[in-house]
Amino acid sequence: MRLVIAEDLALLREGLIRIFEANGFEVLDAVDNGPDLLRALTTLRPDIAVVDVRLPPTFTDEGLRAAIAARKEIPGLPVMVLSQYVEQLYARELVADRAGAVGYLLKDRVMVVDQFVTDVRKVAAGGTVMDPEVVSALVNRRSADLRTLSPKETEVLSLMAQGRSNAAIATRMLVTEKTVSKHTFNIFTKLRLDQSDDDNRRVLAVLAYLEA
């Protein structure tokens, strides 16, 4: 799998290179600023990009902007964003086109190497991965419709937005899959969202709604 990395901290950038190469990825380029990232993505067209939100020259949202610009030129380009903090605006921007193949993780998740690599592979395959802390921040946004959800429905919504299937949610909550299906039906009804059996579309719909 071909990959481009964008990270301005040299130690973390080298660490990511070693992690990916040790797990069978081909690192096409590893850059430290927004302009070089956009160039690498549009010319090399990797299978996935792993991108820090804040890059030189502005250290604001250079990485995210470069990734979004590249996805406009290469629709559906898989992007895994890494951030030091939970930044809800960036999470919303990332999923705005609803094309899928996106991830948003806090940087400390990199330390759990096996799970991190699994998450990157999931995004590369077209899936969606959201850090639990990011999901919690989104779910906690005030909304009249969200306030109609029961505590159990809110918990299911949070797990759903992480990309978990009904079976995985049932295992996590120690309930039956039928119970999760009932909660899911209630969630979509109360939030006025169309139901879908596709996990990725469910995640994007829920996150888009929460950030509307």
* DSSP letters for 131-187: -HHHHHHHHTS--TTGGGS-HHHHHHHHHHHTT--HHHHHHHHTS-HHHHHHHHHHH
What percentage of the chain's residues is helix, strand, coil (to nearest 5)? 55, 15, 30
Q: What is the pLDDT of residues 59-84, one digit of tens each?
A: 888 898 899 899 989 988 999 999 88
Q: What is the pLDDT of residue 169?
A: 92
Q: What is the pLDDT of residue 186?
A: 84
Q: Tell me, what CATH number does 60's domain have?
A: 3.40.50.2300
Structure tokens at 91: 């999470």
- Is residue 202 domain-shared with residue 180, that is, in the same domain? yes
Question: What strands, in cross-sheet order, belong to the sheet with 26-31?
Answer: 26-31, 2-6, 48-52, 79-83, 102-106, 128-130
Q: What is the pLDDT of residues 166-208, one digit of tens each?
A: 899 999 999 999 999 898 888 777 766 554 445 545 665 566 5
Label residue 103 left, alpha or beta by phi (over 0 means left) and psi (-120 to 50 means alpha). Answer: beta
Angle at 196 between CA 95 and CA 116, to 5 degrees: 45
Q: Are 49 and 42 in contact (CB under 8 A)?
A: no
- Is residue 110 domain-shared with residue 167, that is, in the same domain? no
Q: What is the pLDDT of residues 89-99, one digit of tens each?
A: 666 677 666 67
- Is residue 16 domain-shared with residue 69, that is, in the same domain? yes
- What is the number of other CB atoms lying within 10 angstroms of the CB of residue 98? 12
Which percentage of the chain shows pLDDT scores above 70? Answer: 76
For tokens 């990959």, the residue is: 3
- Mean pLDDT over 15-24 rounds to 96
* Of 51-55, 153-157, 161-165, the least confident: 161-165
As a whole number, the mean pLDDT across the chain is: 83
Residue 48's nearest CA partner among 116, 112, 120 is 120
Domain-embedded: residue 163? yes
Domain containing 147 equals: 141-210
Whether pTM > 0.85 for this model: the answer is no
Domain-embedded: residue 135? no
Domain-embedded: residue 191? yes
Indicate the number of domains in the chain.
Answer: 2
